Each structure stands twice: as C-alpha cells, then as structure tokens.
Structure 1
C-alpha cells in the first residue's frame, strides 16, 4: 500500500518525561547516548537499552499510523509484438544460452565444453534475421545479460523488441535500453507528418532529435538536411557535431552547400567533420582545392633513369588550408611539413594521381619509388584516402600481394591499416587475401585481419585457418598463443568443417621441444571447436521455420546459422 508515515507527536505519561520525536531518536542513535544523553531513560535503566526500547515503540506507532496515499498510476499495457513466436526447441536453447556463465570465468584452460555465452550474439542475430519475437519470460534474463555486456546490446535489443523498452521504464537497472534505443524508446513521427516532425525537432529532448534526424536521413535525406539547417545557428557546438555526423548516411552532392557553410563554423571539430565529409565527395569544391594543393607537392621525376616520385611538402599552412580542415599544429614527434602533406594527400581525390603521374594505374603508381624518404608518409596518406573514399582499386594496390615479404603493400604500415583497406574489398576477395596471408605468414598476425572477414568464413579461409592451427600444433608451439584465433574459429568457421576436423582430436605425440602438456591442450581445444561447430549447426536447425527442418545425412554438410556478426 502506498502511504506516508505519521510522525508521532510527543505525549506526556503520568510521572514520566515527555516522549521525544522520531528525529530525536535518530539523532541520539547516530551520536551515541554518551554525547546525546537520552532524557526519557528510567532510573536504573541503561541509556542505550532505553533508547532501543523507545525506538521499538516509535516504530510500531509509525507503522500503525500510516496514512493511505493516492495510488500511483498503473503502467501502460505492454506493447504487442507482432513477430511469430520462437519454435519450442529454439526457446529452450535461448534459456540455456542465457543461463550459462562460462564466458565470465577467469583465465586458464577452458576445457572441451563450448562457451555458450560467446555464441549468444550470433544466435540473437540469427533469430532476429528469421523475424522471431523474444519469449516474454526470457526478457528479464536477456536484459540482464545485455546490461553486463555492452557488445551484446545491439543484437539483444533488436531481438527483444518493444517489450524490452516497456520493461526498461520500470527497472532502473535496464535504463541502458532506453539510452540505446532511438529517441530513448519514444515513438518518432513519420517523415510525412510535417507538423509533428517540426514540433519534435523544436521541443524534443536531444536523444529524440538525434533519432529523428537519423531516421529522416535514412528515408528522406533532403528533408533531414533542411531541418538541420533551420536551427543550425542556434545549436550548441557539441550538438552541431553530433547532428553533422548524421549526414554520413546518404551523403551526396546535394549536401555540399550546407557542408561548405559549416567549414566556417566557430567550432574546430565541426569544421574538421565538415571537411572530412566534403573530401568524401570527389566532385566537391573542397576536394578540387585539396587536389590542387596536393598535386603541387607531388610530381614525377622524368629525368632519372627510372621514373620516380618526388615530393615537396607545403612550406606553410595558411588560413584557407585551415578552413578546409587542415590542422596546423602537428602532434608531438611529427614535423610540420610532413603533417601538412599527409592531410592534403589524404583529402585529395585519388583520381588526381593517374593524371598527375603519367596516366599510370593505382598499382603502377604504388610501385613507383619515392625519393628522399617520403614513401612511407605518402603511401600512408593514400591508405587513409582509399579507406575514406572506399576505393577498391587503390585498396587492392596498397595491400599488395598477401605473400609479399613485408606482408602487405608498402603503404600498409600496420595491421590496423590493412584491416581497413580489406574492408573496401568484396567479401570473397577479402577472404581470399586473408587466406593467402595466413598461408604465407601463419596466424601470429592474422587475428585483426580475420575480424573484418564475413561470417561464416568462406571455405578457403576456413581451411587456411585450420591448416595453420594444425601446423602450429605439429611444430610444438605454445597452444595458448592461439587461443584468440581458436575462439574466433568457434564462432566463424562454417559448421560444415566439423567433419574434416575429427582427425585432429587425437592427442599427438609430443616433441621434446614442445611445451609440457601442449598435446593434450591442442586435442582439448580441437574437441571444443568440433563440439561448438556441431552445436551451431543444431542451433540453426532449431531456428529453421516449421516444415523445413530435417536432419542431415552422413554425407550432407550440417546447416549453419545465417551470416551474423561474430
């Protein structure tokens, strides 16, 4: 029952001192009866005991005197989820995945049992792809799991649907779901409801406005841009930055006038973001200005016996360069001129260079020597430009052959840059390049590259990973050095590979120079891999729509989960 306690009114008993108030009791208990003597203590009765007796009486009096209060408003009815219910077997599987906590265990050997919590994101993505609704009884456990793992939240909330937001409004522990949902879970007006859109944009909370702008940008980019322009001058700098970032979706030449205006913004971060977006439009005026500046710094030396690129970096960073997004002050350890050159080459359209360098292709340009030690700086800038402009030809040229001694093109100075360049390639070509890299260089540097490959891995890539693991085992390598790749293989290998892996389950004869116990660890790890692949195949069968599920024959590869994020 809702209510408020009645503070007891001090009364006078016959022959006794006046009763003190509840506040007096609390104060005396906090300070102690030595510092705050209890005036109503009876003769011969110790003050602490008398205080406790008085507190017990006052507590009963307060409870008995509770005044009824107006009942709180009942929660709104839970929203309907129109999606079909999960098959019974899949619902049981979800309960088992949510109940498993092996993924939260500490280090050490993992044993041969699959790590169910690591399979949960993939299962959620597959269930969402099938269009199933989450069982209502599973929602609390699902929200608790997402609360503890931020990487799980997008898939968990997409599968949980509108009822998860309804629950999140009733439990403070689940408020993260409201923050993650567009507009804090509020219902956004449609793009055609002009009056409601304008009212929400003018009066809504910041999260609602961000969600509104993002939704409009996906459906009607021009409307979103006009809405943003209508209030641009009144927005705070940090809000302008967030709103401007929404223009990445559907970025087109029509956005150029607004972005050109933003180049004059008083916030440096806003100017830099506007310049970045404009440089991604190869036909923009900013891209043309950057092309002129960059081309003035890079030329072809035709007098040398072998054609080479010569570089003359800028002598200064003038105000027009700064307006176009060039940061004048370099980070510690970088020279000013090389810092300016890198920014110009990064922002210039890659189509600038074939015409500037004798009509050569991207691959031919990358193969040219660069004089005076400028090759690393120039190629690194081209890497960033290829990623920003998503240029497949330049990405392919800068990556080079996966079997090259330097394990990548001359511009790919780090695994992080190679991974970004790979993202510009089609999934099949991306997987083939990484497979070739692993075949030549092994798995020691491949983990980051594997992370950008589509799931499930293509057959050549999967075979290269398994073969490299087998080679590492036979070489007596430390098995725990490959635990990350092994865990990735459990989530990303095609389940059809399970049959081919059975030959690796036996404990091999250990070499004299092998790590103690390595053979048993490898056998255990391969057993877990095979068991996990078979489990993933079973999970896919459980999620299959009614009437399509059937067990595979001995010669038929098992089913697999739909392409989902690892």
Structure 2
C-alpha cells in the first residue's frame, strides 16, 4: 500500500514540509478525506485523522494466516468446579494490588478447595507464571483444563503442559523441578532421593549443589550411602556440601568418629569436668573430615580449638550419655567451667545443626547469653515470647526469623514487629508488608495506630503504610471468606 509509505514520509518530514494530498489516497477514502479537510483547518489534526482512517482501511484488507491441515481441538471438559463470584472479584482486586504474596495465598486456598478460575482470567494468570516461576505449579492447578489447552498457543506458557510431580521433575523448568523436589523431600524423603539418584549423572555441578541443599530437609540415616558415594565427585563444592550434610546425621560414620574421640577427650574426676585430647590423634581425622589442627583465634589454644570443632559436630544428646546428666544441669555446669564456657558457642551450633528442640529450650532457660539462632527451634509460643522479649536488642535478626515462618504471627508479635518497622520506613517499605502479608494477622488492623512512631516526620509515612496494610488485610480477609 503506497499510501502508507506516504503517511510515514509525512510523519518523518513534518506537516509544515509535506501534506497528504487526496489523490495519494485510495479512491474509497477520497470522500472521507475531503470531509476531514473541510471540517479541520489544523494541519497536524488533519494528518492524524487521515492517518487513522488509512490505518483502519489497511487493517481491513489484511487476511489471516492460512495453513492447510491445521485443526484446533476444543479444551477438555473441566473436572473441577469454578470458584465463587466473590473469589473471582477478590482475585481481580489482588491482581490490581500487584501483591504476589496475596496472589499465592489466594491460589493456595483455591487449590486446597480443588476449584479453578473462570476462563477469562486464565491468560492473565499464565502470563504471571512466566515471571513468578515459584507459583507455576499453583497456577497450573488453578487454571484447569483450559490452561492446559491454551498453553499450546504460547510457548512461554508451556510450563502448564505437565501436571504430575513426576512429569514436572522429568520435563519441567529448573524452578519447577526445584519446587517438586522441595515438596517431595518434605512429603516422601526416600522418593525424593530416588528421583535425584536417577537423574544425578545428567546434572551439572551447580545444579547438584542446589539439589543437595534441598536434601537438607529431613536428612537422615537412609541418606548416608548416597552422600558417601559423592566423595568420588569431580566438583570440590559438591563433595563439600555432601560432607556438610553427613555431619548433620547422628548415625553417619564421620559423626560417630567424632563422638569416639570426644568419648576419650572428656573425663569426669574429683575436680569435675576434664577435657583433654588423647595422645596420637589419627591424622586421617584432619585430612578427610575437614577439621583444622591450628587455632584461628587468640582465645583458643590449638587443642581447645580442635575440641571446639568436635563439640559443634556431635549431637547434643551425646553429652547426656557421656556425663549421665540432664541438659539444663550440663549447660549450667559448662558455664561455670573456664574451658566449658569457651565451648558454649560450639554447643549452640550443634543444637542448631542437629535441630535438637529439647536442648534449644534448655539453652533458652539456662544460658547466661541469648543465642538468636536458637529461636526457630523453639515451640511457636516460646519463639514469640523470646522474640518480643529481645526485639529491642536484635530487631533485624528477629524480624528475619519471623518472616521465614509459614504460619500467622500472634497479635503481640505483629505489634512488636510493626513498632520497629514503623521507625525504619526505607528498609521496611510497602513491598515488605506486601511480601509478608501471609504472616500478618487480620486483627492487627485495630492495633496499627498504637504502632505509630513518636517522631513527627515518621508519623505521616506510617499513616500511609497503615492504609496500605489495611487494604492488604481486607483482601486477605476477603480471600478467606471467598473459600469458606
């Protein structure tokens, strides 16, 4: 169409240097173009109206692509019911809010109720899935058969083609495979290990490290054989991570070896607890298990540093059998002994590494020092009690632990956190509250005013944040009501 070339030339040169003549237009447009020129004197306005007229005329003449032998089948009949009108409206509001955390919360409830979205929302959700890879499995479940059908028309949506965990593990994207392994490791650790072993030879070193980190969930005796076999891996990093995991399994040979050495190192005599390494320690212990022979601190002798490493590498329960005592008594005794006091941080690291909840509680109740890393091992009520108690001293650490939780905070903890975040408006901005709305209790709305900072220059910012938090909470409440 030569007319379109003339329009482009006019746009490039400007209407002062060139105007469209009626004879440059198709005959079918001459009457309409003459009418535009009669009713409009402004050159730019004339040009834009005639260009719009020509554009629509041009589009009307475009034929769709014809391809022989191509048939499009209908989508399969949906097996799940559509969610309610209220749920759909809530979803639309959440999409407008651009809160991914709320969207995930909505999708989780939708999946739990075994419902799906109505067809008009499927393309928007699949498009979101191209960016939010961690949500892909949820999005697939909530888009139903229509989602599976639509994916064939857009390669970017092909994540919806596999629906079972095994299919996703075999053919899914890296993010999908990661999500499958994480979930399976929680639900069926043995099956997760079997699947991993089946594809292990095909993975690169970076992926192997990532998979091994996921294996840390529910690590146990059944994983020992596989982890020990990785000593033959070419990648140094893979071998290091495998060794690190072995050190978290009480029954692994390496942990048993450490306990054997400590058995000879710790004695109980008339003077109380005595700690001294046995003579002629096997060099193999240092060469293959990662122990350092020399102290890296002026506060420890070489011998004390070796013992420190051993203490942090054995289950805390070892001390109960070795000293024939209870955790609280052992902790108090160690704090009275000069060397034992030095070893307390190592004991804390062992409690964290072996996820010993009994010893975590005993440490909180008997230690002279507050150890922040112990908090996640405590029962929820104790976590919240100590978090509120020490939030003034360890605000950032406690908030970091709180946002890792998957459950909802209590009103008291939420209030304590908001009092802190309200004073750091740049660090804890709107995106913070949006990202962790799943943790925020609904009733905190009534407490927001009490969380306001005393400084006048921060009050207005907190007022705006409070309004935003209220909007998010209302959407969260509406989501819950939608699926009840």
TM-score using structure 2 length: 0.64
Query: Shift in Å at residue 447 of structure 1?
Result: 1.7
Which residue of 256, 263, 273 maps to 1:288?
256
Distance 1:486 1:226, change over 3 A: closer
**Cα distance in 1 between the residues matched to 2:447 and 2:78:** 42
Distance 1:153 1:398, change over 3 A: farther
Query: Shift in Å at residue 525 of structure 1?
Result: 2.8
Which residue of 430, 435, 445 maps to 2:388?
435
**Cα distance in 1 between the residues matched to 2:217 and 2:312:** 21
Query: Shift in Å at residue 541 of structure 1?
Result: 1.4
- The aligned counterpart of 1:392 is 357
Query: Shift in Å at residue 391 of structure 1?
Result: 0.9
Alignment of 1:422 with 2:372, yes or no, is: no
Query: Shift in Å at residue 311 of structure 1?
Result: 6.9
Give the SS at the match of 2:377: coil
Query: Shift in Å at residue 452 of structure 1?
Result: 3.3
Distance 1:161 1:441, change over 3 A: farther
Alignment of 1:352 with 2:323, yes or no, is: no
**Cα distance in 1 between the residues matched to 2:287 and 2:398:** 39
RMSD: 5.2
Structure 1 unmatched ranges of 5 or more: 1-67, 102-115, 189-203, 413-417, 545-566
Per-residue CA distance 1:18-39 (angstroms, 9 max, x = gap)? xxxxxxxxxxxxxxxxxxxxxx
**Cα distance in 2 between the residues matched to 1:218 and 1:118:** 22
Give the 5 Å matches for 1:43-192: 71=68, 78=75, 81-101=78-98, 116-150=99-133, 152-153=135-136, 155-160=138-143, 164=147, 167-168=150-151, 170-174=153-157, 182=165, 185=168
Per-residue CA distance 1:528-553 (angstroms, 9 max, x = gap)? 33343333222321222xxxxxxxxx
Which residue of 450, 456, 460 maps to 1:520?
460
- The aligned counterpart of 1:326 is 290
Query: Shift in Å at residue 92 of structure 1?
Result: 1.8
- The aligned counterpart of 2:447 is 501
Query: Shift in Å at residue 91 of structure 1?
Result: 0.8
How many residues align? The count is: 417
**Cα distance in 2 between the residues matched to 1:380 and 1:386:** 10
Query: Shift in Å at residue 348 of structure 1?
Result: 1.6
TM-score using structure 1 length: 0.56
**Cα distance in 2 between the residues matched to 1:74 and 1:175:** 19
User: Which is richer in helix?
Assistant: 2
- The aligned counterpart of 1:458 is 410
Distance 1:290 1:271, change over 3 A: farther
Give the 5 Å matches for 1:522-541: 522-541=462-481
Contact between 1:168 and 1:175, CA under 8 Å: does it hold in 2? yes
Contact between 2:388 and 2:413, CA under 8 Å: does it hold in 1? yes
Contact between 1:182 and 1:208, CA under 8 Å: does it hold in 2? no
- The aligned counterpart of 1:492 is 439
